Structure 1
Amino acid sequence: MRTIDLSPLYRSFIGSDHLAALVDAASRADKQSTYPPYNIELLADDKYRVTMAVAGFSADDVSIEVQENTLTITGKKNAEENDKDEKERKFLHKGISERNFERKFQLGDHVKVLAADMENGLLHIDMERVIPEAKKPRQIEIGSRLIENS
């Protein structure tokens, strides 16, 4: 496995240990399963959409959870229903996988999940980066002084 030298980043960025952790997590994610397939779209400057192909799953079979900066999408088919369907149906070819899955996405700071929708076998999750006023850049005039309330 090829490693990446991040030492130039440490010299020029403050807090790049977080960046290094993200690069490490991404390299580990490459080794995970590619099921189900998904797209990540940039809809506008601060709006994103994850679209995941979940053929064979209903809205009741899929759960979406956000904890800290991790978006987790889990698909679980009811085992009893699956066994019943398999016994009743006889496949000549089965190319549509309906196996259980769990897919995790690392969200950037201040990214909020807005909505989720399922249509035509595709799960759409819309997100937006909402930067608080305190974190937005502000112009400081030269010669100005901070006035503290006593």
Structure 2
Amino acid sequence: MRHLDFSPLYRSTVGFDRLFSMLDQMNSDAPSYPPYNIERTGENAYRISMAVAGFADKDLSVEAKEHVLTVKGEKPAEEDGRDVLYRGIASRAFERRFQLAEFVRVEGAHLENGLLHIDLVREVPEAMKPRRIEIATGAPKQIETLSA
């Protein structure tokens, strides 16, 4: 994939630097571990499901801060005297970041059958929602002045 240069747009735009940095991050090669799905579960509801087999809830942390959701996993080193001949189950530490849109908040997270499910909901404030404006017919109302 080729790299897009957004520097000419910086000269004529104000306030879009976060958008351009997000686009730059999308062009970079992102790590593929652990695998995950993002799904829409309702009109304003989403779920991120991450395959974290072998991790317990105490080994995982989920943090939302300033439009960034960070999921970290770190297992303590196994020193139980086992002699592993082949290691196919990954147990390496990871950190995965997701950019959240405005008004998206984390509703909860739970671990089930080796999958970490993070539920998200978008709550648009009433002031930001579209509203219908009634169109009046007839003559405009006139305010009468009272003489003293």
- Normalised TM-score (structure 2): 0.78
Question: How far has the Cα of 1:46 moved from its partner?
Answer: 1.1
Deviations 1:34-54 (A, max 9, x none): 111111111112111000011
Q: 1:35 aligns with which of 33, 36, 50?
A: 33
Amino acid at match of 1:66: A
* Ranges in structure 2 where 5+ consecutive residues have no aligned partner: 141-148
2:51 maps to amino acid: A
Q: In 2, distance between residues paired with 1:71 and 1:20? A: 19
Equivalent in the alignment of 2:146: none
Residue 58 of structure 1: CA displacement? 0.5
2:127: which partner in 1? 134
- The residue that corresponds to 2:53 in the other structure is 55
Which runs of at least 4 in structure 1 moved beyond 4 Å after TM superposition?
14-18
> 1:99 offset after TM fit, Å?
0.3
The answer as to whether partners of 2:3 and 2:27 remain within 8 angstroms in 1 is no
Aligned partner (choices 82, 88, 95) of residue 89 of structure 1: 82
Conservation of the 8 A alpha-carbon contact between 2:60 and 2:72 = yes
Counterpart in the other structure of 1:22: 22
Of the three residues 88, 113, 125, the one matched with 2:106 is 113
Q: Is the aligned partner of 1:3 residue 2:3?
A: yes
Q: Counterpart of 2:23 in structure 1: which amino acid?
A: V
Find the aligned partners of 1:127 and 1:138 in 2 and give their Cα distance: 25
Indicate which of 70, 74, 77 corresponds to 2:75: 77
Offset from partner CA, 1:90-124 (integer Å, 9 cap, x none)? 22321100000000000011001001000111100
Aligned-pair Cα RMSD in Å = 2.7
State the Cα distance separating 1:17 from its structure 2 match: 4.8
- SS of the equivalent of 1:19 reads helix
Aligned-pair CA distance for 1:139: 2.3
Q: Percent identity?
A: 50
Answer 1 or 2: which has greater helix percent.
1
> Normalising by structure 1, what TM-score?
0.77
Q: In 1, distance between residues paired with 2:95 and 2:18?
A: 24
Using a 3 Å threshold, how does the CA distance of structure 1 residues 25 and 142 change in structure 2: closer, same or farther? farther
The unaligned stretches of length 5 or more in structure 1 are 145-150
